[in-house]
Structure 1
């Protein structure tokens, strides 16, 4: 497996390259965005680790160009930018995962292997479940013609559920993707935010779309009857 590391911090890039090669990956390094794009388009990589803050051009524009060229190589953002809007933006551009620095290499390696097992995921610009429409580019959700007033976290949570419509998503995965934390069974952060999301997505409407899957987590789907 061949991985491209697009990272301008030399120590971080060298650390990543060494760790990946010790785990039987082949790793190349690009220290700026332009070099990264050039290598991406000719290097036939299995996965790309991409920083956001890069010399020349940032990681957002690098990924945008890659997807505009219909290149669906899996991309994992590894960056110090830890705000929820940044994570939402990265995933909407077509990233397969988003990890915030500082990071544990063991977790990074696990995320890489998970991405490679499932292959590249094509992110849709519009998502629809029954009468719920989600415009991921404009950060807008509409149900029965009514715009839903969602916070950035709620929008990211709803988008995560919508991309996996009909499949139960565990609380652990939700915590990792929305808050970038390892889920602690002693906290109810996921359930609290899901309750708030339901109050906006489901409570004003007759048909309920968000359902609890006992012992697992939550699912978004239109259940007949």
Structure 2
């Protein structure tokens, strides 16, 4: 899931972005309200976390603009103000919840999880692919019952591959879903993560080609019982054609 964090205090922004990344979120940081609006128009966010006091465009005005343009993602306001009028104004502007500074990190994370659950009243089902199981509710992956100790990016990649249901996941799609705007990947970053993921799967008992390569196209999960389960045309129809702006900035092609 992708979160927009609008916070002009660099120390707070870096600390919070790190904490959110550890919870498997992709985080884009905007240091002012206008930059936050540019991000909203560029990327699809699952949640916006907006500080009320921002340069250029304050958090409440940004919230109003987001809602006036039809965006429906949850918005959580963070405010250092205690005045009830400010809180009421923020909620009337379209915010779903608010947190007062200074806040406890665990409370903030719990409020984020609660907002992300709204509109989805049921828990996501456990996903399976052969001996692989992924529980997206707790971000846990196992192979033949053995837990896979994955980094946040490795977990997100494995979940993305499983959600593709055997179809090809292009490198551009991986870049878009694993890296934030402020964290441009190195040229061989995708290959490096795929390599580490394969090593961890193999250590748990998976075949070495469990994460298979479609050369020049991307990666997909392969089942041993049907090694030739897709021809080139079918794989092409499954391949994502969504071009990420990160690709253009890094020079990496799918």
The residue that corresponds to 2:19 in the other structure is: 19
The residue that corresponds to 2:53 in the other structure is: 53
Q: Which moved more, 1:93-102 or 1:74-83?
A: 74-83
Instruction: Write out the 4+ residue segments of structure 1 that deviate beyond 2 Å after TM superposition.
Output: none
Superposed, which structure 2 residues align to 1:144-163 within 5 Å? Answer: none
- Partners of 1:16 and 1:79 in 2: CA distance: 15
Deviation (angstroms), 1:16 = 0.8
Deviation (angstroms), 1:119 = 3.3
The residue that corresponds to 1:5 in the other structure is: 5
The residue that corresponds to 1:90 in the other structure is: 90
Contact 1:2 1:46 in 2 (8 A): yes
Whether 1:40 and 2:58 are equivalent positions in the alignment is no
Contact 1:63 1:94 in 2 (8 A): yes
Deviation (angstroms), 1:36 = 0.3
Deviation (angstroms), 1:72 = 1.0
For structure 2, the residue ranges without an aligned partner over 5 or more in a row are 121-254
The residue that corresponds to 1:72 in the other structure is: 72
- Partners of 2:119 and 2:16 in 1: CA distance: 21
Deviation (angstroms), 1:96 = 0.7
Specify the SS of the correspondent of 2:49: strand
1:85 to 1:13, Cα distance in 2 relative to 1, 3 A: same
Give the structure with higher Rg (CA): 2
Which string of whole-angstrom CA distances, capped at 9 and with x for unpartnered residues, describes residues 158-191 of structure 1? xxxxxxxxxxxxxxxxxxxxxxxxxxxxxxxxxx
Deviation (angstroms), 1:41 = 1.7
- Partners of 2:57 and 2:115 in 1: CA distance: 25
Deviation (angstroms), 1:84 = 0.7
The residue that corresponds to 2:114 in the other structure is: 114
Contact 1:74 1:119 in 2 (8 A): no
Which string of whole-angstrom CA distances, capped at 9 and with x for unpartnered residues, describes residues 108-136 of structure 1? 0000000000139xxxxxxxxxxxxxxxx
The residue that corresponds to 2:28 in the other structure is: 28
Specify the SS of the correspondent of 2:82: coil
Question: How many matched pairs?
Answer: 120
- Partners of 2:46 and 2:8 in 1: CA distance: 21
Larger RCO: Structure 1 or Structure 2 (Cα < 8 Å, ≥ 6 residues apart)? 2
Deviation (angstroms), 1:79 = 1.7
Whether 1:104 and 2:81 are equivalent positions in the alignment is no
